Structure 1
Amino acid sequence: MVKKDIIQKFTIDYEVDSKPKVRATVKIEPDYKKIKSTLKNLREIEEITDIWRLSGDCGLFILVEIPSIEKFNPLIEGKISRIDGIKIIETCFITDVIK
């Protein structure tokens, strides 16, 4: 149809997310008796982009991406802290990505 000049132009419809996302790290001390269900529940949270299980007493380390800082407390209080098997949560915001 392009060769026969039936289709002469194409339109690309896309959406650009102009606002950068807020990123934060969250260190979690889990109850290791419930680690499988804790990890399963964490995997289901859309805002969590990465989950690492660390050696020793370090527990779990997760990376979250949220559209704004206002969405952070609802994420921690409404989703992550309600998961059975999470004992302690420590959070840090990423202020600058170096590499």
Structure 2
Amino acid sequence: TVRRRVSKMQEEGTITRFTVVYELDSKPKTSATIKIEPDFKEIKRILVELKKIEEITSIWRLSGDCGLFMKVDIPSIEQFNPLIEDKISQIEGIKIVETCFITDIIK
């Protein structure tokens, strides 16, 4: 089996250590939440546009005057402003109300 062959190679000194090599897509990402105030007359169109943005991983509609709440995953914090400025805020009828970076996932 492979396990036996690797063990033998370790014993013989052919393999001296193992290294983890990340694929770019598997590296930890920066996560943030964005609360927006949409024009509810345009909500269906706004949701269609938001669903097209690949960095947005979740969208929740909140009760009352809370609007929409989204979770985004980006490769690095440097890509947050371009996401907001070039993609999300370009959708007509959206007002960004609040953004927060996720620093720790508890559960």
TM-score (norm 1): 0.81
Counting only pairs closer than 5 Å after superposition, residues 17-96 of structure 1 correspond to structure 2 as 17=24, 19-96=27-104
Structure 1: stretches of 5+ with no match in the other structure: 1-14
Q: Percent identity?
A: 72
CA distance in 1, matches of 2:45, 2:92: 8
Q: Number of matched residues?
A: 85
Q: Is the 8 A contact 2:31 2:72 kept in 1?
A: yes
Once the two structures are TM-superposed, the CA of residue 85 in structure 1 deviates from its matched residue by 1.2
CA distance in 2, matches of 1:87, 1:72: 16
CA distance in 2, matches of 1:73, 1:89: 14
Moved >6 Å (runs of 4+): none
Higher helix share: 2
> Which protein has the larger Cα radius of gyration, Structure 1 or Structure 2?
2
Structure 2: stretches of 5+ with no match in the other structure: 1-21
**Superposition RMSD on alpha carbons, in Å?**
1.3
- Which SS does the other structure have where 1:73 is aligned? helix
Once the two structures are TM-superposed, the CA of residue 19 in structure 1 deviates from its matched residue by 2.6
